[in-house]
Structure 1
Amino acid sequence: MRVIDGNTKIYGIIADPIAQVRTPHAMNEIIADRGSGAVFVPFHVRPADLPTFVAGLKAWRNLPGFTLTIPHKEATLALCDRLGPMAKISGSVNAVRKTSDGAWEGETFDGLGFVAGLKSQSLDPAGASVYIQGAGGAAKAIVAALADAGAARIAVANRSQDKALALVDQINTIYPGKCVLGSTHDVSAADIVVNGTSLGLRESDPLPIDVDELKPGQVAAEVIMMPDTTSFLHAAEAKGCRIHRGIHMLKGQVGEIADFLGI
């Protein structure tokens, strides 16, 4: 049994809701493997309370950093004093560490983790045509990482078309011509179809993507980790798609996050 005492360092994940997160289990396994004197816990924080909570963490001397997920990835960007390269490109963060001078430094590993997760399942996005639904924090990071990994074409769709267009323009300034505004046709034309939204966390959620446009042989990928197989993945599998679960994105990034946070 791990001993928690006055020397223990505290890390955590900020989310709302929190019950679905699987990061604490994965990070505590890494902590145990590395013999680190630390513990990783969940922080349930409402969006309205986020600035106060993050400001308070600066005063927590034995808290070297934290991670975050829905719906806080974009809002936390403005709470950081410094940003890593992928955070600057994607406009979101999912890990924040306290530097030696007490500043918050944010970076995002969702996109890198998503690409690593694909590759771990022998799915290389280089040269692929991708459709992604969503333009929030996770989706931004994934689009940036897919562009960097050599995806040939990335179609971005979102309920708010303005947000999708802003993401397309942002990525195209760094990777010219990689991104386009997505349409229904792009779903059936893509090699990889990604749900980058939070739809699927709840059983009552509508499907994020029109699965009637899917065809056998496509890869249907998810960012949601709980449930393990979302309604979207069930429907895609029934259409003959190869499904790719959200847990692969987590497994692809936890080691890098642990290194970033100093665990």
Structure 2
Amino acid sequence: MHPRITGSTRIYGLIGTPLKSAKSPMLLNTLFTDAQVDAVCIPLEVGSANLAEFVRGMRFVSNLAGLLITMPHKQSMLDVVDDLHSTTQQIGAINVVRCHPNGRWEGAVFDGLGCVLGMQRQGVSLLGKSVLLVGAGGSGSAIAFAVAAAGARVLTLSDLDPHRSLDLAQRVAKQGGCAVHAGSADPKGHDIVINATPLGMSSDDPMPIDAERLTSTTVVVDIITRSEPTALLLKAQSHGCQTLDGQPMHVGQALLTLSFLGFEDIALRYPSGL
């Protein structure tokens, strides 16, 4: 069922590019419709070169209540919001903006917390586990902090840019409680492997890890959302691994984002699944 649009409908936009695989508008609109909320989420494909002009124009839209942020804008949006939520500390990226009635925009990030929440909702605990996280960009950074805070014993960070993974490892290690270091993308010996890179969005992408070195006891998480399993997940399944695609993280993000945007009542309706 499509949301009912009225003259007082609150608008939430998803900005990024490409958006052909985006699930947020469908998910949020379903929730808005079920809860009979006068709100709608629409995809707004905006390239990097046009972000500043887009923001300048959208600040004049008084019924714009919020924005969901995806690639490639998670870092650059930091420069255009007015206030930063506590979730953005140390991460250097945002994935949701709350547009206050007074005109101020507040940015927050729920990539990491959403990923951990999604894993926990699927019965995957991080407590005491050895975790390999591949990708130290915006999503990877947020996930790294959240994984360490969730009780992981060891966290290995790997990125095509070794300086980026080393910098992230040093920042996460300052939290304490988890041994964090930069290393290779070798999955052998890890309890959980998380792919936080874009590799796998296209069918001809190379593997983010050497999947042949997976063992059946490893949980493999690929945060990419697409209709078919990524090559990484298919290979992991062939090795007998438990696998999670991007949907659990997506749902976790959605629940946290809804609460941040003022829809706590909707989030509380879905404690066990969407």
Q: Secondary structure at the match of 2:67?
A: strand
**Distance across 1 between alignment mates of 2:57 and 2:172:** 33
**Conserved in 2, the CA contact under 8 Å of 1:110 and 1:142?**
yes
In structure 2, the partner of 1:229 is 229
**Distance across 1 between alignment mates of 2:3 and 2:250:** 24
Q: Report the AA paired with residue 224 of structure 1.
A: I
1:212 to partner: Cα distance? 2.0
1:164 to partner: Cα distance? 0.8
Q: Report the AA paired with residue 145 of structure 2.
A: A
Q: Structure 2: any 5+ residue segments left out of the alignment?
A: 264-274
Q: Report the AA paired with residue 257 of structure 2.
A: I
Between 1:148-157 and 1:72-81, the stretch displaced more is: 72-81
**Distance across 2 between alignment mates of 1:75 and 1:169:** 22
**Distance across 2 between alignment mates of 1:105 and 1:242:** 37
- More helix per residue: 1 or 2? 1
In structure 2, the partner of 1:67 is 68
Q: Secondary structure at the match of 1:209?
A: coil
**Distance across 1 between alignment mates of 2:25 and 2:242:** 28
**Distance across 2 between alignment mates of 1:2 and 1:212:** 46
1:54 to partner: Cα distance? 2.2
TM-score calculated relative to the size of structure 1: 0.95
In structure 1, the partner of 2:259 is 259
1:255 to partner: Cα distance? 2.0
| 2:118 is equivalent to residue 117 of structure 1 | yes
Q: Report the AA paired with residue 215 of structure 2.
A: K
**Distance across 2 between alignment mates of 1:2 and 1:246:** 25
TM-score calculated relative to the size of structure 2: 0.91
**Distance across 2 between alignment mates of 1:123 and 1:176:** 19
> In structure 2, do the counterparts of structure 1 residues 224 and 128 end up closer, same or farther at CA, with 3 Å as the change threshold?
same
Q: Report the AA paired with residue 247 of structure 1.
A: Q
| 2:129 is equivalent to residue 128 of structure 1 | yes
**Distance across 2 between alignment mates of 1:66 and 1:239:** 39
**Distance across 2 between alignment mates of 1:86 and 1:20:** 26
In structure 2, the partner of 1:33 is 34
In structure 2, the partner of 1:22 is 23
1:6 to partner: Cα distance? 1.4
> In structure 2, do the counterparts of structure 1 residues 184 and 141 end up closer, same or farther at CA, with 3 Å as the change threshold?
closer
- Which structure is higher in RCO with an 8 Å CA cutoff and minimum separation 6? 1
> In structure 2, do the counterparts of structure 1 residues 9 and 258 end up closer, same or farther at CA, with 3 Å as the change threshold?
same
1:18 to partner: Cα distance? 0.6
Q: Report the AA paired with residue 195 of structure 1.
A: N
For residues 82-102 of structure 1, the C-alpha deviation after alignment (integer angstroms, 9 at most, x for no partner) is 112221132111101112431
**Conserved in 2, the CA contact under 8 Å of 1:86 and 1:144?**
no
**Conserved in 2, the CA contact under 8 Å of 1:228 and 1:247?**
no
Between 1:107-116 and 1:250-259, the stretch displaced more is: 250-259
RMSD: 1.5
In structure 1, the partner of 2:208 is 208
**Conserved in 2, the CA contact under 8 Å of 1:112 and 1:252?**
yes
In structure 2, the partner of 1:3 is 4
Q: Secondary structure at the match of 2:257?
A: helix
For residues 89-116 of structure 1, the C-alpha deviation after alignment (integer angstroms, 9 at most, x for no partner) is 3211110111243111111111111111
